[in-house]
Structure 1
Amino acid sequence: MEPIAVQIQRKDLLIDQTQVGKLCTEFREAHWVRLPQLLDSSILDFLQARLDKGRWESMSHGKIGEEYITNDLPTTSLLHFVMNRPKFRTIIEEISGCKGLRWFRGRVYRMIAGAGHHDNWHSDIAYSNEVGMSLNLSRNPFRGGLFMLREGDSKRVLARVANTGPGDALIFRISPDLHHRISDLEGEEPKTAFAGWFKSSLPECFRDSNMQIREEPRTV
């Protein structure tokens, strides 16, 4: 089992600075790292119980892909709240080397094999996106659904990652020189995740009463 570097708990943030230092080096060299058990079990259990009963709607992202999404308010509100804790965003800044992260915006999605769900190569360069994140919310391990990262020009694949651990997250660099995608699902188990971007040029989260969360198109 991979050691925990940072874990979001109900009342605090658990941080192992030694492990965070190792992740800084890994991110600088590989452009992605895993955050094992980012969510503690009590938060994850609550979210999975909500998602078991949630309503899912088809969402098309044009040329990029298609998936199911849910807009269950308790689920999305809790996830946005914990990801936007200033202390957590500071840790993401430290690991990624990207300073001035002011807001995280994401969506909860589900992909099912044989449902026409897919995700094509894209960069997400838009809307001040700096660092991407995918948090596994799946109740059971799934097959396929790999996070893949490649160089934009050469098309050389840099990573193929199965992020199947409950509450595990991947963070990765957003750059015009890098493309990423999720491979097709296989088998009967769906993939459920909270995915989005840490952003740099929006008003500071929790400090602007007029701040509104809105759906943003994904970009090639």
Structure 2
Amino acid sequence: MISITKKGLIGCKNSAIEELKGEFTKRQCIVLPQLLDNELLDKLISNIDDASFYERQHFAGNKIFATDLSVPSKNVALHQFNFLFNNTRLFRLIETITDLPGVRGFSGRIYRNLPGTSHFLDWHDDKSTPTRLIGLSINLSYQRYEGGTFQIRKKGDKKYLTEVGCTNPGDAHIFKVSHQLEHRVTEVTGNFPRTAGAGWFTSEPASLILKQ
């Protein structure tokens, strides 16, 4: 199991990486169970619990494709999230799994979808920013939500390449960002919200990168 810990990135065995490469080639998306270890996850979620969220709309051109509660850009939880994933060793691993070179940075956000509200995340391709190469989503919810399933497909195709739940805390998935692909997250139902970190491995460097 590949995991980000205080001591760095662990579990990067060649056999596991080859299996992930094959799955990514087929589905354009793979699951990375417990990508954040429990100690780092506890600290991040604790900071998220102290955060003040705000209502946010997301646009692709003139179309709103998502609404949610977002953590402000200067919040400590968001800085912690970006710090953990701006890791050059992680960049090289992502390049190997996806067979996509040129990862130089990571930029992310933290958001929450509440059940029984107007929050939604409809089909889009994430290419509003051309430097985005690979997307990432990680579950930052301790309470088990219902719904909130990630789906990815080729544009114009009704058949999904894959569907991902990732309802365990710290579970993540990565997916290819391309003009030929689109993805969405289904409505959150039940009694508990879905809190997630979403971000992109990019071809441009971030301001803070951890070298390991």
Q: TM-score, normalised by structure 2?
A: 0.91
The residue correspondences of 1:52-131 to structure 2 (distance < 5 A) are 52-62=49-59, 63-71=64-72, 73-127=75-129, 128-131=131-134
Taking only the aligned residue pairs, the percentage that are identical comes to 33
One-letter amino acid of the counterpart of residue 43, structure 1: L
Q: Secondary structure at the match of 1:120?
A: strand
Deviations 1:72-123 (A, max 9, x none): 6321111111101100111111111110101111100000111210011001
**1:91 and 1:60 mapped to 2: Cα distance?**
33
One-letter amino acid of the counterpart of residue 78, structure 1: Q
User: What's 2:184 paired with?
Assistant: 181
Contact 1:93 1:99 in 2 (8 A): yes
One-letter amino acid of the counterpart of residue 147, structure 2: G
User: What's 1:141 paired with?
Assistant: 144
Give the C-alpha shift of residue 204 in structure 1. Answer: 6.1
Moved more, 156-165 or 38-47: 156-165
**2:47 and 2:207 mapped to 1: Cα distance?**
25
Q: 1:116 to 1:185 in 2, by over 3 A?
A: same
**1:104 and 1:90 mapped to 2: Cα distance?**
12
One-letter amino acid of the counterpart of residue 22, structure 1: E
1:28 aligns with 2:25: yes
Moved more, 13-22 or 78-87: 13-22
Q: Secondary structure at the match of 1:20?
A: helix
Q: How many residues get paired?
A: 202
**1:157 and 1:203 mapped to 2: Cα distance?**
32
Q: Secondary structure at the match of 2:127?
A: coil
Q: TM-score, normalised by structure 1?
A: 0.87
User: What's 1:45 paired with?
Assistant: 42
* Unpaired segments ≥5 residues, structure 2: none
* Deviation beyond 6 Å, 4+ runs, structure 1: none
Contact 1:24 1:94 in 2 (8 A): yes
**2:205 and 2:37 mapped to 1: Cα distance?**
28
Contact 2:107 2:206 in 1 (8 A): no
Q: 1:205 to 1:21 in 2, by over 3 A?
A: farther
